């Protein structure tokens, strides 16, 4: 095994979990998340000779993952899944606790771009400028999406219960 | 602050999930598949160029691109027995020397001869299945336009095959896809042809049902036995005829109730309570039923419901407490924007609980009434209004 391959193995061990987690936050599907992470790592592997000299090779893989996700969205193959409220096979949410489960359900109902902005902003802790570059959006749009996403989360979590108490079934 | 809660929730969600064991092995496989696709892409370009040149060059009008598989062209005289699987939408002629039985997912065949039996690990099964689009034997399965959209089936339903892959065509351009996986003594073979699902008129039809296949699967050892069972499998696939839900415009066979663990997977979960700043609180309860990889048609039938109890097991004074829903949906047609194709969901919500004391909940209905377990009650919003348990939605 060459030195580059050894380095890639270490890189894989360090980054795989993070990438898969990010993929899950974007898609709500562990299988899809794994595929995105694997795909990002395969593509990173193909240019490893160049990428391994970067300061943050993980950022490169993350960019590949986000781009891949965007491209799938464009093909409308993942967007339907973004609307997925809850899926049968996701047995991992029980560990989220009381509020987390409901908040996560609400996040999954957000439109794809709002959700991607919130995930990159509050999970990957990227500044808005970097989120804008990563998603290929103007900075103002990213700010607006983040704001609208948070407003919508607060609003959506509250409104339906009020209607029910008032006796208005949807 | 909702931002802090988001960070915390994202962190927990991203840290969860299935084991990462074997991730690097899967990476190696993924890399090989990626390489194969790139090679396939280049090959396709070369083929397109070859076809184009054949069309463009008038000097060689006889040149044709001929795609053939490994399957032979042996002719077969059908036996007297026709095995029919109307729920699965096919019938097949069973050759002499084989016995056939109907199962809940299709037909299984066993050799009449004692010589072959030791070389087969279980029966040869002829069943319906579903492959991911990438592996679908029929290209452009959606082109006839009878399907509404391409809403995906859950990953747990669609199949990504393992083992050595091959593909080809039977006479009449009936394409097949096959995998062979050697594990110890046994070689597992799965051989698919496309077998689209035709929904009944007026029923919204998830496009993914077009990815249904008719599959022969068997485990065999020894070259002679392998050759013999291979011939059977090929004959079954070459002679299978579509009926009922596999034929556009034909009525479907009567649909039985879904059976958990066979034609459906049934799950339930409580979503606990939201407790953000502000007075809104709701407790949620979910039932889900999804089709399985055989896409066997069935009706999801309850009762499905929830009973709310106090600490000593008495029913709480909640409007709608103990309500149940009986008929929910048909699988595999069920789908919604929330659950995707092949899944139906029932959600119940509980509001406005203004009493004190411990609260419990118990599931009512299949797969059996569960034990009473503690549940966080929703917050009191208005004492003048009753507490209510309502069916939020049934998604089809």
Task: Quote the radius of gyration of chain A (alpha carbons, Å).
Answer: 18
Q: Does A74 touch chain B (CB under 8 A)?
A: no
Chain A CB contacts of B385 below 8 Å: 165, 167
**Cα–Cα distance, B88 to B84 (Å, whole number):** 9
| pLDDT > 90? residue B183 | no
Q: What is the pLDDT of residues B236-274, one digit of tens each?
A: 999 899 999 999 889 999 999 999 889 998 888 776 544
Please name the member of A85, A95, A165 whose beta carbon is closest to the beta carbon of B339.
A85
Compute the CA torsion angle A167, A168, A170, B1 (nearest 10 deg).
-80
Chain A CB contacts of B351 below 8 Å: 161, 164-165
Give the pLDDT confidence score for residue B173 in this predicted structure.
80
Greatest mean pLDDT among A72-81, B58-67, B286-295: B286-295
Secondary structure of chain B in HEC code, one letter for each residue: CHHHHHHHHHHHHHHCCCCCCCHHHHHHHHHHHHHHHHHHHHHHHHHHHHHHHHHHCCCCCCCCCCCCCCCCCCCCCCCCEEEEECCCCEEEEECCCEEEEEECCEEEEEECCCCCHHHECCCEEEEEEEECHHHCCCCCCCCCCCCCECCCCCCCCCECCCCEEEEEEECCCEEEEEEEEEECCEEEEEEEEECCCCCCCCCCCEHHHHHEEEEEEEEECCHHHHHHHHHHHHHHHHHCEECHHHCCCCCCCCCCECCECCCEEEEEEEEEECCCCCCCCEEEEEEEEEECCCCCCEEEEEEEEEEEEECCCCECCCECCCCEEEEEEEECCCEECCCEECEEEEEEEEECCCCCCCEEEEEEECCCCCCCEECCCCCCCCCCCCCEEEEEEEEC
> Which CATH code of 1.10.3720.10, 1.10.10.10, 3.30.2130.10, 3.40.50.300 fits the domain covering A90-170?
1.10.10.10
Q: Band the pLDDT of A79: cuts 50, 70, 90.
A: very low
Count chain A–chain B contacts defined by CB atoms under 8 A. Answer: 187
Partnered with residue B128 across adjacent β-strands are B214
Q: What is the pLDDT of residues A127-168, one digit of tens each?
A: 898 898 888 888 899 999 999 999 888 776 654 444 444 433
Secondary structure of A86-110 in HEC code, one letter for each residue: CCCCCCCHHHHCHHHHHHHHHHHCC
CB contact (8 A) between residue A154 and residue B11: no
Best residue in A74, A87, A92 to probe B by mutation, most B CBs within 10 Å? Answer: A87
Give the pLDDT confidence score for residue B50 in this predicted structure.
60
Q: State the nearest Cα–Cα gap between B386 and chain A, in angstroms.
A: 8
Please name the member of A94, A107, A158 whose beta carbon is closest to the beta carbon of B280.
A158
| pLDDT > 80? residue A81 | no
Q: Compare all CA atoms of chain A with the CA of B6 and give the residue at the minimum distance.
A: A122
Smallest CA-to-CA distance from B244 within B195, B293, B294 is with B195
Q: Does A8 touch chain B (CB under 8 A)?
A: no
Q: Compare all CA atoms of chain B with the CA of A147 and give the residue at the minimum distance.
A: B3
Please name the member of B5, B281, B376 whose beta carbon is closest to the beta carbon of A161.
B281
Structure tokens at B186: 């046994």
Mean pLDDT of A60-75: 83
Q: What is the pLDDT of residues A105-130, one digit of tens each?
A: 788 888 888 999 999 999 888 889 88
Best residue in A24, A27, A159, A165 to probe B by mutation, most B CBs within 10 Å? Answer: A165
Cis amide linkage into residue B303, ω under 30° from 0: yes
**Cα–Cα distance, B218 to B125 (Å, whole number):** 6
**Helices A98-108 and B2-15: angle between axes, nearest 10 degrees:** 90
Per-chain mean pLDDT for chain B: 79
Q: Band the pLDDT of A32: cuts 50, 70, 90.
A: confident
Greatest mean pLDDT among A21-30, B129-138, B140-149: A21-30
More confident residue, B383 or A32: B383
The model's pTM = 0.56
Give the pLDDT confidence score for residue B58 in this predicted structure.
42
CB contact (8 A) between residue B390 and residue A164: yes
More confident residue, B363 or A1: B363
Q: Which of B71-75, B369-373, B387-391 has the lowest mean pLDDT?
A: B71-75
Q: Compare all CA atoms of chain B with the CA of A79 and give the residue at the minimum distance.
A: B151
Chain B CB contacts of A161 below 8 Å: 280-282, 349, 351, 378, 381
Chain A CB contacts of B282 below 8 Å: 160-161, 164
Q: Does A94 touch chain B (CB under 8 A)?
A: yes
Give the pLDDT confidence score for residue B174 in this predicted structure.
87
Structure tokens at B318: 């909640």
Q: What is the pLDDT of residues B103-127, one digit of tens each?
A: 999 999 999 888 899 999 999 999 9
| pLDDT > 70? residue B155 | no
Q: What is the domain partition of chain B in residue ranges? A: 79-246, 264-395
Q: Which of A56-70, B31-45, B377-391 has the lowest mean pLDDT?
A: B31-45
Q: State the nearest Cα–Cα gap between B387 and chain A, in angstroms.
A: 8
Mean pLDDT of A6-31: 87
Give the pLDDT confidence score for residue A96 in this predicted structure.
60
Pairing label, strands B174-183, B164-170: antiparallel
**Cα–Cα distance, A93 to B71 (Å, whole number):** 47
> Who's near A141: CB < 8 A, 6+ residues apart?
A132
Q: Does A123 touch chain B (CB under 8 A)?
A: yes
Give the pLDDT confidence score for residue B338 in this predicted structure.
57
Mean pLDDT of B90-103: 89
| pLDDT > 70? residue B37 | no
Give the pLDDT confidence score for residue B43 in this predicted structure.
66
Q: Band the pLDDT of B73: cuts 50, 70, 90.
A: very low
How many CB atoms within 10 Å of residue A125? Answer: 10
Chain A CB contacts of B275 below 8 Å: 98-99
Mean pLDDT of B350-369: 85
Query: To which H or E segment does residue A27 belong?
Result: helix A3-27
Q: Are A121 and A66 in contact (CB under 8 A)?
A: no
What is the phi/psi pair of residue B263, to 5°? -85, -5
Give the pLDDT confidence score for residue B209 in this predicted structure.
86
Q: Band the pLDDT of B47: cuts 50, 70, 90.
A: low
More confident residue, A34 or B133: A34
Structure tokens at B334: 């069920």
Q: Compare all CA atoms of chain A with the CA of B387 and give the residue at the minimum distance.
A: A165
Structure tokens at B381: 């919003």
Q: Compare all CA atoms of chain B with the CA of A34 and give the residue at the minimum distance.
A: B23
Give the pLDDT confidence score for residue A9 in this predicted structure.
87
Q: State the nearest Cα–Cα gap between A53 and chain B, in angstroms.
A: 22
Mean pLDDT of B154-181: 83
Q: What is the pLDDT of residues B320-337, one digit of tens each?
A: 999 888 867 899 988 765
Q: What is the pLDDT of residues B185-244, one digit of tens each?
A: 899 999 999 998 999 888 888 877 888 999 999 999 988 899 999 999 999 999 899 999
Smallest CA-to-CA distance from B16 within A87, A92, A107 is with A92
Can you say whether the dihedral through the CA atoms of B146, B149, B153, B159 is positive or negative? positive
Q: Does A107 touch chain B (CB under 8 A)?
A: yes
Within a 13 Å sphere around the CA of B63, how many CA atoms are in the beta-carbon half?
12
Q: Band the pLDDT of B61: cuts 50, 70, 90.
A: very low
- Its CATH architecture, for the domain B79-246, is Sandwich (2.60)
Mean pLDDT of A34-43: 89
Q: What is the domain partition of chain A in residue ranges? A: 1-84, 90-170
How many CB atoms within 10 Å of residue B184? Answer: 6
CB contact (8 A) between residue B18 and residue A89: no
Q: Compare all CA atoms of chain A with the CA of B150 and give the residue at the minimum distance.
A: A77
Smallest CA-to-CA distance from B7 within A29, A142, A119 is with A119
């Amino acid at each position: 095994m060459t030195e580059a391959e050894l380095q890639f193995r270490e890189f894989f061990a360090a980054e795989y979990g993070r990438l898969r987690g990010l993929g899950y936050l974007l898609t709500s599907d562990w299988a899809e998340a794994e595929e995105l992470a694997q795909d990002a790592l395969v593509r990173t592997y193909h240019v490893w000779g160049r990428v391994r000299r970067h300061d943050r090779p993980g950022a490169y893989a993350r960019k590949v993952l986000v781009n891949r996700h965007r491209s799938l969205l464009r093909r409308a193959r993942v967007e339907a899944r973004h609307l997925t409220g809850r899926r049968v096979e996701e047995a991992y949410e029980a560990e989220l606790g009381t509020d987390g489960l409901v908040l996560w359900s609400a996040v999954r109902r957000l439109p794809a771009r709002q959700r991607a902005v919130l995930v990159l902003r509050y999970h990957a802790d990227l500044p808005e400028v970097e989120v804008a570059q990563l998603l290929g959006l103007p900075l103002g749009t990213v700010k607006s999406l983040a704001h609208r996403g948070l407003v919508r989360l607060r609003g959506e979590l509250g409104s339906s219960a009020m209607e029910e108490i008032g006796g208005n079934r949807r | 602050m909702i931002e802090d809660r988001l960070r915390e929730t994202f962190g927990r969600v991203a840290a969860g999930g299935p084991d990462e064991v074997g991730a690097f092995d899967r990476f190696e496989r993924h890399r090989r598949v990626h390489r194969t696709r790139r090679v396939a892409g280049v090959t396709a370009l070369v083929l397109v160029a070859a076809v184009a040149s054949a069309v463009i060059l008038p000097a060689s009008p006889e040149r044709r691109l001929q795609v053939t598989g490994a399957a032979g062209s042996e002719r077969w005289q059908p036996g007297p027995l026709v095995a029919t699987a109307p729920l699965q939408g096919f019938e097949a002629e069973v050759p002499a020397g084989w016995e056939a039985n109907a199962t809940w997912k299709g037909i299984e065949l066993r050799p009449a001869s004692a010589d072959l039996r030791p070389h087969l690990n279980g029966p040869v099964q002829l069943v319906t299945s579903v492959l991911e689009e990438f592996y679908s034997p029929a290209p452009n399965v959606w082109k006839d336009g009878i399907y509404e959209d391409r809403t995906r089936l859950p990953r747990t339903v669609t199949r990504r095959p393992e083992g050595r892959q091959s593909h080809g065509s039977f006479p009449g351009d009936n394409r097949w896809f096959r995998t062979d996986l050697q594990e110890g003594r046994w070689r597992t073979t799965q051989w698919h042809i496309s077998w689209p699902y035709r929904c009944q008129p007026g029923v919204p039809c998830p496009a993914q049902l077009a990815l249904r296949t008719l599959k022969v699967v068997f485990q065999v050892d020894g070259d002679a036995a392998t050759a013999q069972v291979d011939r059977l499998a090929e004959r079954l696939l070459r002679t299978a005829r579509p009926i009922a839900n596999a034929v556009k415009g034909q009525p479907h066979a009567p649909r039985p109730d879904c059976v958990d663990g066979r034609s459906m997977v049934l799950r339930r979960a409580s979503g606990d309570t939201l407790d953000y700043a502000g007075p809104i609180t709701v407790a949620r309860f979910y039932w889900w039923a999804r089709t399985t990889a055989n896409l066997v048609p069935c009706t999801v039938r309850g009762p499905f419901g929830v009973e709310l109890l106090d600490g000593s097991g008495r029913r709480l004074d909640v409007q709608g407490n103990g309500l149940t829903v009986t008929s929910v949906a048909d699988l595999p047609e069920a789908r919604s924007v929330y659950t995707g194709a092949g899944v139906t969901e029932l959600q119940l919500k509980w509001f406005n609980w203004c009493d004190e004391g411990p609260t419990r909940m118990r599931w009512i209905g299949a797969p059996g009434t569960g034990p009473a377990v503690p549940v966080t009650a929703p917050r009191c919003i208005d004492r003048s209004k009753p507490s209510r348990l309502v069916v939020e939605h049934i998604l089809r």
